[in-house]
Amino acid sequence: MSIYLQHFALAREPFSIVPDPGFLYPSVYHRQAVAHLKYGLDREGGFILLTGEVGTGKTTLTRTMIKRIPPHVRVAYILNSKLNASDVLASICDELDIKLPNNNELSFTKQCIDALNQDLLAAHAEGKKTLIVLEEAQNLTSEVLETLRLLSNLETSTHKLLHILLVGQPELLDILAQTELRQLNQRVVSRFHLSPLDKHDLSNYINHRLHRAGAKRPIFDEACISVLFRLTGGVPRLINLVCHQSLVAAYSLGAQTVSAKLVKQAAKEILSEQKPSSGKKPWLFGLVAAGILIAALGLFKLTGPTAPAPQSTDTAEPVMESPVAEATDVITEPFQKQPLREELLKEELLALEQPEESPVTEAIIATPTPLSRNPFVGLLALWGADAAEVYSEEELAAVASANNLRTEKVSLPDLAALEQINRPGIVWLQEALVDQPQAEFKNNIKSYVLTRLGVDGITLQDRQGEIQLSQQDFETRWTGRMLYLWRPPQGYSEPLMTGAGATTNGSRNPEVVDWLQAQLAAVDSSNEIIISGGRYTAAIAQQVLRFQQQQGLLADGILGRETLMRLAQLSEKDIPLLRETD
């Protein structure tokens, strides 16, 4: 257990640099990346690229995707990018449990490719897909990349048999742009570059990780956010390193919260470890090390409400790690890969001699409230459907289906169309430029959950909480798109109709017809129950036509989505609505 967990009442390490999928923060860039990866996987085959600077979360995102991948997709995950072509082929076969024949007459490469081809054909016949993932792909040699291109040629007469995901740093794009690799570059079906976190996402990122670690109270002051963003540029791994060191320093001082000044000092200690020793230890590192050592030896005990709890003497379950191991854990290679940050950090550290800014009145901490939900999870929650992590529309559809809900994404002309649907949904708004006239916008689209259409304005929700917009502001910024949920009756699969357009299933559905007649009778007592043997007859269609006319719907006598939604809205009590109706 890390040394400060008990002090801050944390259940686990919140800022470890281990790529744990459970700690993935779904920023807008991460959600877009997942969508691109899934799009590439849905294609018939080819290469998928995920690039990003060091520490932006590529590996964590990749492992999250693999963890949540459908069971019909097999994955070969290759971590070592320094292998030669034969070793890469052997690793792929080993990951897919492919047994190689013992044939000394053929080269090892030939044996691997033949065995892989036979295995892929058998998997394809069973309806399975195969994905090969290669990390640190910028280190792959031209020979290995050409071998992968040849593997992508494995196909049937109509389908490619392999998807290959290359995960690497931005220089991978330059490598693939070389003339000799143009054939591979032309086979990339989806590519995405993962950017660092925006400043407005940084506090959410810290909140997310603290909440995952079990935090129940404020730990980082609000002023820490600006400092962290200036020092790290929004790179998650750097944020983790600085936050971890800050918590260790706060623990050694007996502090219950981390201040902006402490963050600067902790970052200075990390940077100082990258330089040759001057023979004089920085004061903070000495204090941290001394405090840890004394605590580890059990020679002191702080008093008062901020004191750490007495440490257990049970050697079977130590509550502290070695001070040496803890210090080594936070002095890691990623800072050596960020030389451009050093000058910026020096400038920031000069401010240590300046007076502190005005006191912070609000601390940041993630709490298990709906305000921390991403739009997909927030929309599901309005229908009483719980989901811990949903990062794409495909996942939303799957979770919705498991809760007897359906997703519908539409483009609408105006607010009147929104009111006609009358269901909460995800909407996409253009974000206004800072210090610019309201009519000017940048090319940045942000998603919100639309929760209410009121006479006094529009209510939206994002991770920060509720936002009120006037109708004019909303219409100016709204892109016209909306993704909403609705609940069909049990047994419904397709519209019910009569006449030449009706299919066998489209005209007979006893479960839905019984539900329909009960709802029509509840809405209008003049509607009599018609004995139809479960068929959607002309007499029932006439009742539906009359209901559509009364409600201002398209009057076609077809029992489709809009009609079903309006019936449910009038007769059921647990449906979330944008605007309450009489």
> Do 323 and 413 fall into the same domain?
no
Q: Which structural domain range is residue 247 located in? A: 199-364
The residues near 557 (Cβ < 8 Å, ≥ 6 apart) are 497, 498, 541, 542, 544, 545, 548
List pLDDT tens digits, range 40-50.
Answer: 787 778 899 99
> Do 65 and 168 fall into the same domain?
yes
> Do 293 and 404 fall into the same domain?
no
List pLDDT tens digits, range 485-533.
Answer: 999 998 898 899 887 555 444 467 888 999 999 899 888 888 888 888 8
> Do 210 and 358 fall into the same domain?
yes
Residue that is last in its domain, among 342, 364, 386:
364
List pLDDT tens digits, range 472-497.
Answer: 999 999 989 999 999 999 889 889 98
How far, in Å, CA of 115 to CA of 107, rounded? 12
List pLDDT tens digits, range 363-391.
Answer: 343 333 344 568 888 899 999 988 767 77
pLDDT over 70 for what percent of the chain?
77
> Do 456 and 540 fall into the same domain?
no
> Do 376 and 321 fall into the same domain?
no
Q: Which helix (H) or strand (E) holds 465?
A: strand 465-469
pLDDT at 373: 67
Give the total number of structural domains in the chain: 4
HSE value, Cβ hemisphere, 13 Å, CA-based, for 460? 22
In-domain check, residue 257: yes
- In this structure, what CATH number is given to the domain that contains residue 76? 3.40.50.300
**Could you give the C-alpha distances from 184 to 173, 306, 339, in angstroms and in order?**
12, 59, 33
Structure tokens at 81: 């990018």
How far, in Å, CA of 517 to CA of 514, rounded? 5
- In this structure, what CATH number is given to the domain that contains residue 527? 1.10.101.10
How far, in Å, CA of 314 to CA of 509, rounded? 67
In-domain check, residue 46: yes
> Do 350 and 388 fall into the same domain?
no
In-domain check, residue 124: yes
Residue that is last in its domain, among 194, 229, 255:
194
In-domain check, residue 581: no
List pLDDT tens digits, range 175-221.
Answer: 998 889 988 988 888 888 888 888 878 888 898 899 888 888 889 98
In-domain check, residue 11: no
List pLDDT tens digits, range 114-129.
Answer: 999 999 999 888 888 8
Closest CA to 146 of 78, 87, 213, 85: 85
- The string over 3-18, giving b where at least 16 C-beta atoms fall within 10 Å of a residue's C-beta and e elsewhere, is bbbbbbebeebbbebe
Please check whether residue 511 is in contact with residue 491, taking contact to mean a CB–CB distance below 8 angstroms.
yes
How far, in Å, CA of 376 to CA of 358, rounded? 38
pLDDT at 369: 38
In-domain check, residue 498: no
Model pTM above 0.75: no
pLDDT at 424 over 90: yes
- The string over 88-97, giving b where at least 16 C-beta atoms fall within 10 Å of a residue's C-beta and e elsewhere, is bbbbbbeebe
In-domain check, residue 576: no
The 10 Å Cβ neighbour count of residue 347 is 10
How far, in Å, CA of 490 to CA of 274, rounded? 64
> Do 428 and 296 fall into the same domain?
no
Residue that is last in its domain, among 330, 346, 364:
364
Burial of 1 (0-12, 13-18, 19+ CB in 10 A): middle
> Do 203 and 322 fall into the same domain?
yes
List pLDDT tens digits, range 428-450.
Answer: 898 764 444 444 555 567 889 99
> Do 35 and 83 fall into the same domain?
yes
pLDDT at 165: 94
> Do 188 and 58 fall into the same domain?
yes
How far, in Å, CA of 72 to CA of 300, rounded? 57
- In this structure, what CATH number is given to the domain that contains residue 461? 3.90.70.10
The residues near 484 (Cβ < 8 Å, ≥ 6 apart) are 379, 407, 408, 410, 421, 423, 424, 425, 426
List pLDDT tens digits, range 550-578.
Answer: 998 999 999 999 999 999 988 887 899 99
> Do 356 and 379 fall into the same domain?
no
